[in-house]
């Protein structure tokens, strides 16, 4: 893909429900970059306090070094000139400015790989992923397996009755569910 090296940037989005292998896929792509000895950096938002501050870690515990940033502006400021590939995990936790930052980096000739949840626990689009999906060059949707019935799952069921959009958690409070088994929370008046 990287034919005109250092000149042609683009955006790749990896999205799907929890437990669908988004971080694993990001790590897989970044390892190929590492093997090719291209300079890369990986970022994740400070809000994601699972596992370890210095790494991105998939549910199956594979990991790569990463830098934590508080917002999209800080991310942009930390990207080095020589970096050719920028990886971003848990993109749903970033502010809306992430979309512009990804495009600026791509315009500067960098390959930008963004992973994140496309839907929240209500099954609604999780910003800013929808805006990235609309404008990225490449999109990969990863599917999990429904933890109720075993069908392909693209939604995430929250198992506790709380309505903040952001609650960091794991298998204790979330399950991958298919369209049939997913039941959205009742709208509170
Ligand atoms: P994962 O996609 O790498 O499994 O992580 C998703 C994170 O997002 C996890 O910490 C739970 C959190 N989350 C929310 O904050 N709100 C939501 O609506 C959903 C579905 C997940
Ligand atoms: Mg992940
Ligand atoms: Zn199901």
Measuring CA to CA, which residue among 91, 153, 166, 61 is closest to residue 175? 153
Cα–Cα distance, 144 to 153 (Å, whole number) = 5
Measuring CA to CA, which residue among 26, 9, 40, 38 is closest to residue 104? 9
Q: Ligand 1: which of 57, 64, 92 to mutate, most ligand atoms within 8 Å of CB?
A: 92
Interval between CA 75 and ligand 1 midpoint (Å) = 20
Q: Which atom of ligand 1 is nearest to the CA of 167?
A: 15
pTM of the predicted model, to two decimals? 0.92
Residue 101 in contact with residue 174, Cβ under 8 Å? no
pLDDT given for residue 84 in this prediction: 98
Residue 137 in contact with residue 10, Cβ under 8 Å? yes
Interval between CA 20 and ligand 2 midpoint (Å) = 8
pLDDT given for residue 188 in this prediction: 72
Cα–Cα distance, 57 to 9 (Å, whole number) = 26
Per-residue pLDDT of the chain (189 residues), as tens digits, is 545 555 789 999 999 999 999 999 999 999 999 999 999 999 999 986 655 567 777 777 677 889 999 999 999 999 999 999 999 999 999 999 999 999 999 999 999 999 999 999 999 999 999 999 999 999 999 999 999 999 999 999 999 999 999 999 999 999 999 999 999 998 776
Q: Which atom of ligand 1 is nearest to the CA of 168?
A: 10
Q: Considering the domain 10-142 in this protein, what is its CATH number?
A: 3.40.50.300
Any idea where the domains of the chain sit in the sequence? Answer: 10-142
3-22 per-position pLDDT tens digit: 555 578 999 999 999 999 99
Question: Which residues on neighbouring strands pair with residue 175, listed in sequence order?
Answer: 157
Interval between CA 54 and ligand 2 midpoint (Å) = 14
Residues in contact with ligand 1 by the CB-under-6-Å rule are 18, 22-23, 117, 120-121, 156, 165-169, 174
């Amino acid at each position: 893909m990287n034919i005109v090296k250092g000149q042609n940037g683009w955006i790749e989005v990896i999205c799907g429900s929890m437990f669908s292998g988004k971080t694993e896929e990001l790590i897989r792509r970044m390892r190929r970059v590492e093997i090719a000895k291209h300079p890369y950096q990986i970022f994740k938002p400070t809000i994601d306090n699972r596992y370890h501050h210095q790494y991105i870690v998939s549910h199956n515990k594979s990991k790569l070094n990463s830098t934590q940033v508080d917002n999209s502006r800080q991310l942009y400021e930390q990207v080095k000139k020589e970096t050719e590939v920028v990886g971003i995990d848990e993109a749903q936790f970033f502010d809306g400015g992430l979309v512009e930052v990804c495009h600026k980096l791509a315009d500067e000739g960098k390959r930008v790989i963004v992973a994140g949840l496309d839907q929240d626990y209500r099954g609604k689009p999780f910003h800013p992923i929808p805006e990235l999906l609309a404008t990225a060059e490449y999109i990969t949707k990863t599917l999990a397996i429904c933890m109720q019935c075993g069908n392909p799952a693209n939604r995430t069921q929250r198992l506790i009755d709380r309505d903040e959009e952001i609650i960091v958690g794991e298998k204790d409070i979330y399950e991958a569910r298919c369209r049939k088994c997913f039941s959205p929370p009742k709208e509170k008046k």
